[in-house]
Amino acid sequence: MLTGPQIAAAIAELDVTHVVWLPDSTLGAWEAALGQSPDLTLVRVCREGEAWAIAAGLHLGGRSPLVVMQCTGLFESGDALRNVMFDMRLPLYAIIGYRSYLLENSPDTARRFTEPLVKAWGLDYMLIESAADLPVWAEHYRACQGAGRPGAALLAEGRG
């Protein structure tokens, strides 16, 4: 699984300026590394919908935000996502914790609905299963940003 230093280094190489997040237990392990990265500002939100709107404001202001949340937060924040990605047409990018993906035959309904929902939103997405996927992720991020389209990376998690 990805460590904080690994993800912080990968994010810094992409010229991301702000990470706007509400972590789960997997993503939360990155907090120290993200907080200490000299090139990043970590913005903590209270509910996931806030994250999309803050990222939109950052983008309008000329910065390069990355949104980080669990898939359950994606479920919660759909209207905010719709506003900023579709009405405002901002090419925001997110890392979404894919809860229970690694647990085969898991009864977790968060696992069942994550990919159908991401597809329903029409997001260009990829799966990150390990640190070995980071170079591909960087390409995906750059491709989305270069094309001016929203995107997401689903981070494979156990129980999250």
Partner 1 sequence: MTTQRRMPLLPALKVLADWRSEQIVVTTMGSAREWPKLSQHPLDFHYLPSAMGHAPMIGLGLALARPEREVLAFNGDGCMLMGLGCLATIVASGAENLTLVVLDNGIYEVTGGQTTAGAVAQVDFAGMARAAGFATVADFDDLPRWQAAAAETLGSPGPRFVRLAVEPVGADYFLPPPAMHEQIARFRAALGPC
Residue numbers at the binding site for partner 1 (CB under 8 A): 18, 41, 43-47, 49-50, 52-63, 65, 79-80, 83, 87-89
CB of 121 to partner 1, least distance (A): 16
CB nearer partner 1, residue 60 or residue 136: 60
Work out how close the CB of 56 gets to partner 1 at its nearest, in angstroms, rounded to a whole number: 6
Q: Which is nearer to partner 1, 61 or 116 (CB)?
A: 61
Residues 6+ apart with CB under 8 A from 5: 33
Q: To 5 degrees, how large is the angle CA 12–CA 98–CA 48?
A: 70
Sheet holding 41-44, edge to edge: 41-44, 18-22, 65-70, 93-98, 151-156, 124-128
**Least distance in Å: CB of 124 to partner 1?**
20
User: Which of 53, 138 has the CB closer to partner 1?
Assistant: 53
Shortest distance in whole angstroms from residue 105 CB to partner 1: 36
> How many angstroms separate the CA atoms of 57 and 130, rounded?
31
Q: Which is nearer to partner 1, 47 or 112 (CB)?
A: 47
